[in-house]
Structure 1
Amino acid sequence: MVEYIFSLIIIASILFGLLLPQISVLWGDYLNPFLAILMFFSTLKLERKFIKVKKEQIVSLLLFVLLLLPLLSIPFKLLGAMTFIGVLVAFSSPSAAATAFFVSFLNGDIALALLISFLSSLLSLATLPLTIQFLAGESVFVDASKIIVLLIQVIALPIILALFTKKFLKGVADWVNRHRNHQLAFVFLLGSGIIGRSYPIIAGNEVQLLQLTFLILLALLFGGLLAYFFGSRYGRKSAVTFFIATSVKNAMLSFAVVVELFGIAAALPMVANLLAQLLLMVFLEVFGNQALALFQSSAKTR
């Protein structure tokens, strides 16, 4: 097995999307099915029941996802109104549907990730417009039907199908889990496809995109590390889940909201946010264990 294959696939998807957008855009209309497939794969690896997840963990993580990260968008006001609006919407969105897959591949708490993806998406019907109104003074209408369809198609149905497969088709579930590296093909298609669809926004704004990606990466890293260290009190699996669920947001939902309400001028932060999220997963795979070990050793010396 190639070490850090997860990170290599993510980097490859970014490069492919940026360098060959005319190809990666070809599967840009199939992003939701890709997300549903990743949700199915992650649920197949579920080892504990949802009812065993502590309520304290759920509430704490929801606060990180829906409260802490939106607050980290405030410094982006210095970069202009449209940039701030874009980052605010991105940071205020619920955890991504791909969160559970990233968590499963990076050995986090899958049950907690599935619950947070579902609950944060449901709560975002209220929290997303309220957060934008409070921090930006903009009234926002969030199409509830889009979120509900997302919940059903990308989260609920794949979970139900996977649980059915685990119970009645155990051989199939075991075979899929044994070949989990093959599942990364859908991560590649998802990452490159989103970038390919976004390339018209990227073209001509490469320098600004690079700068914005770096700044968003720092903000997400800060929020993710705070969540990671807080979640470490529940163990490494929870720490990984806290990091991913906090920093990996629903990019497609935020993109749709921003473009519909504020136009294409505010969309560049969406692309930068997506790139930053993918790069964060590389950071977590490569440095996650070292970060937790450092934190635990420093805690023992106090």
Structure 2
Amino acid sequence: MDFELRILGSSSATPSANRHHTAQVLTIGNQYHLIDCGEGTQMQLMLYKIKHQRICSIYISHLHGDHYFGLAGLLSTMHLQGRHMPLHLFGPPGLLEILSLQFKYSGTNLCFKLIFHELDTACYRKIFEDKAITVHSIPMEHRVPCCGFLFREKLKPRPLIKDKLPDFLRPPQLVRLKWGEDIKDEQGNVLVHNSDVTLDPKPSRSYAYCSDSRYKPDLLPYLSHVDLMYHEATFMDDLRERAEYTYHSTARQAAQLALAAKVRHLVIGHFSVRYKDLSPLLAEAQEVFPATDLANEGSVFCVQDQPALPAT
């Protein structure tokens, strides 16, 4: 199953000639999750041939315009092109009011069901769950209510070792073995030990999106050992005081958080327009955490499915 992140935009506050406002698409299996929706997002979706009708959910971290000004336009396009599938929209208080006002005065009545989930941005909480993943909100520290998002695959089934399976097992028993159960008789005696006929499941993959925020070490319990983490890096560390004042982070601070959380891979973005050349930000982060990349537009970051381990 695919688990990959596509960067659509990585600029802060104002766009530049070659950087759009923040937007990302996380693909998990056959579902697209849009994370933030800055101005021009739908143009970026077209550029990278991402079919917006396949987007199943949209997550808006906060109500600064560079993170949601593209949303009304994208929803309108979905409507004009006859979308019929429901769409889940997650966002802070006020977002639904803003959209309702825009649609009221444009005479837009969406032809699909928009399911809005108002977020409490101040707490870590499960906000979505299906058969494959869970999504939690992560509290950020910004000038307006703001949260990040943690996507995790659920526990995967245990692969069966076919040549070790007894012939008498029926399909329902095979399913129980896949989910870690032993097979017992009516008296409770174990007929088949799970560990004898299965492998450990493939590790579940994870992605943490840390939106606009001051450096926040108390996020570590939520970010521990995630496979891929995005963290804003609006400034370089020589502007640390500026970052603190504006409730943003530096490239070095993002790397320090990744190192402390023992994540596998860090992606930094939300760059100030003052930086025409982003290589100094990358170098600053890599001094602390070498497994760092820039959130360049069009970049794709894949989290590979790890092989199952032999049973112990």
| Higher-strand-fraction structure | 2
| Higher-helix-fraction structure | 1
Give the TM-score, by structure 1 length.
Answer: 0.25
Give the TM-score, by structure 2 length.
Answer: 0.25
Higher RCO structure (Cα 8 Å, ≥6 apart) = 1
